[in-house]
A and B are shown apart, each in its own frame.
Chain A
Amino acid sequence: MHYLPQMLFALVLTIGIGFFIKNVSQLRRNIRLGRALQVNDNKSQRWKNMIKIALGQTKMVVRPIAGFLHIIVYLGFIIINIEVLEIVIDGLFGTHRIGLQLLSKPIYGFLIGAFEILAVLVLIAVIIFWIRRNGIKLKRFLSSEMKGWPKNDGNIILYFEVVLMCLFLVMNAADTNFQVLDSGNIVSQYIAPIFSDMPANTLHLIERSAWWLHIIGILAFLNYLYYSKHLHILLAFPNTYYGKLTPQGQFKNLDAVTQEVKLMMDPNADPFAAPAEDAVEPEKFGASDVTDLSWVQLLNAYTCTECGRCTSECPANQTGKKLSPRKIMMDTRDRLEEVGKNISANKGAFKDDGKQLLGDYISHEELWACTSCNACVQACPVSIDPLSIIMDMRQYLVMEQSSAPSDLNNMMGNIENNGAPWPFNQMDRLNWTSEN
């Protein structure tokens, strides 16, 4: 019987981590549904970006209040996880506060004291976040794409945080030995009096319950991530690493098109030559579904925190157009999940469901409203590029479907015929020199 709690703990831990591994492998599989893309240039710059943007949160502080609060919650999250390490060791080996045996009393007290203070700061930050989300009417949390699950998701995480922080403080307050130690109970000493009249047994029960609930809560949180915008706490790191390094204005040139153009421009090429035997099926231009996007774009979609900074900077969205770069990312993720589930349900092969990202999720109207201004890319705190998805889908619309708005078809016709977007003759390009 003596080992029962330890065995139980090992079981809970195994289940929690097991599910997490399953989630991660599903995530990996879905991201790899994207087109191949080699990203192995400029490694040192990529590491720097990851450290600066993901770890250092440099882009969060552009909005100082939200940025500051976020840093508190983020630091709280990371540092309090050191405490989780202790819980895991204690749980597996049947020890109690192993840290006290490994570290000197003042150091241990300092650490736990710091955690307690952070827990309170996190609580305060989370309450302010909750008010921002639900009390004051902040426009970027009210958009249509934030109804239903996305809204609940944002709040659920906040409740999670509150419960976890409270459990941590109660666990410390109800631990008589820890209170007697009087080192590190900076906050919990004020909660302890609530329990002072209780018999030792009850106290022990409360302490144990808080301890168990705390670790179970953390494991639950870990497995909740996959279904939540909070996946960014993990994916922000790879995503900032793989983020775009070239100037924002530089859009990639399609290699498949380059080959065709070169062939057309080459006076020696024989236009009637039979296609080479091994000619691969011509690549589809642009994107109509998630599998046409690159894996980095799909990683982007899973990383999106749904914060709406992109959308609130978007000129189209600000002036009432349907386009919202956040929605582009959320749609991409939703569709990818749908495709992933389809594959899982059909033993690893996708069964046509008659749907696609273009049209069923993202409308033409949204795509044509974009000015390619890069404000969304600039605003994103985790290096997501919604614009690249918009452009890939425009390419599909124009090159595969010839369905650009008629004004744009005129413009393109002019370029093709006159070398200018307006119906002026190329031979008149110097006329301005002789006009007044």
Chain B
Amino acid sequence: MESSLKVPTMAELFAEGKQPEVLFWVGCAGSFDDRAKKITKAFIKILNKANVAFAVLGTEESCTGDPAKRAGNEFLFQMQAVTNIEVMNAYEVKKVVTACPHCFNTLKNEYPGLGGNYEVIHHTQFLKQLLSEGSITMEGGQYKGKRITFHDPCYLGRANGVYEAPRDLIKKLDAELVEMKSCKSRGLCCGAGGAQMFKEPEKGNKDINVERTEQALETKPEIIAAGCPFCNTMMTDGVKNKEKEASVKVMDIAELIATTEDL
């Protein structure tokens, strides 16, 4: 099935005089990180199946600048932002979907002030829309009754108040959604945000991802669901640290849906 992935680029569509409905912002993790690339593909399979008219920027996409900004380099952030905005505005992009909450937050909240005004949604919100329109059905039943806990990405949950879309999707899988003791607005960070992903943690008595994984494991889940490529990495490492990788999987919501749809 891999070869049948249809991934049109904005440049190709533009050459044909076409304009897609929505731009899929893949992001750096989604483009380069081995684990995150699987999430990207899962999401694209769903988009293909639902016949969504989308496109990616491909080689014209560049880092949103989020990690630079959170590290304190406002200058680099704005350079990145202005460059990306120029590209997107040239293609007259109206709507953007992304599977990365960091890209989501930056595009949605920090680009408008620099001239980039788009309707930006997270892929869990987009999938929920597809579901309610009937474009996807989620009938596989593969996750029926399975215990799934959802780890709220900070930049999706607290930062932007999106708590329900991912949960609604999990419930639609007929899975048993089990909540951690700190969830939603009190969800604990996985430890990757604020550019921590790219550096060693400061001295302490534990790694944050291990702490969060312990909280997740307390719910006795079969699957820890995530909605962010960085959370995914952190939680996967945490599960390995606890030597539970045989019994507990860390999966993105898009992957859950793609597998249940047998894509």
Contacts and interface: CB of A to CB of B under 8 A. Distances in A.
Interface in A45-95: none
B159 A316 contact: no
A415 B204 contact: no
A374 B105 CA distance: 13
A405 B154 contact: no
A158 interface: no
A420 B28 contact: yes
B75 A373 contact: no
A111 to B, nearest CB: 40
A412 B76 contact: yes
B202 A323 contact: yes
Interface string A404-436: 110110111001100111101011111111011
Contacts of A435: 37
A268 interface: no
A321 B59 contact: no
Interface in A309-323: 313, 315-316, 318-323
Interface in A375-398: 375, 377-379, 391, 393-398
B80 interface: yes
A422 B194 contact: no
Interface residues of B, number: 72
B74 interface: yes
A246 B109 contact: yes
A405 B72 contact: no
A248 interface: yes
A354 interface: no
B26 A429 contact: yes
A398 B32 contact: no
A251 B69 contact: yes
A258 B82 CA distance: 9
B242 interface: no
Contact of A250 (B28, B109, B204): B109
Interface residues of A, number: 70
Given A251-B110, A315-B189, A265 B71 contact: no
Nearest to B207: A319
Contacts of A399: 72-75
B140 interface: no
A369 interface: yes
B241 interface: no
A378 B154 CA distance: 11
Contacts of B158: 248-249, 373-375, 377-378
Interface stretch (B15-23, B60-68, B127-135, B218-226): B60-68
Contacts of B199: 368, 405, 407-408, 411
B92 interface: no
A428 B205 CA distance: 39
Interface string B205-216: 111101110000
A320 B205 CA distance: 5
Contact of B67 (A321, A411, A419): A411
Contacts of A421: 28, 63, 67, 197-198
B48 to A, nearest CB: 12
A415 B68 contact: yes
Closest 10 CB pairs between A and B?
A249-B159, A394-B72, A372-B194, A320-B205, A419-B62, A320-B204, A250-B109, A373-B189, A398-B72, A407-B199
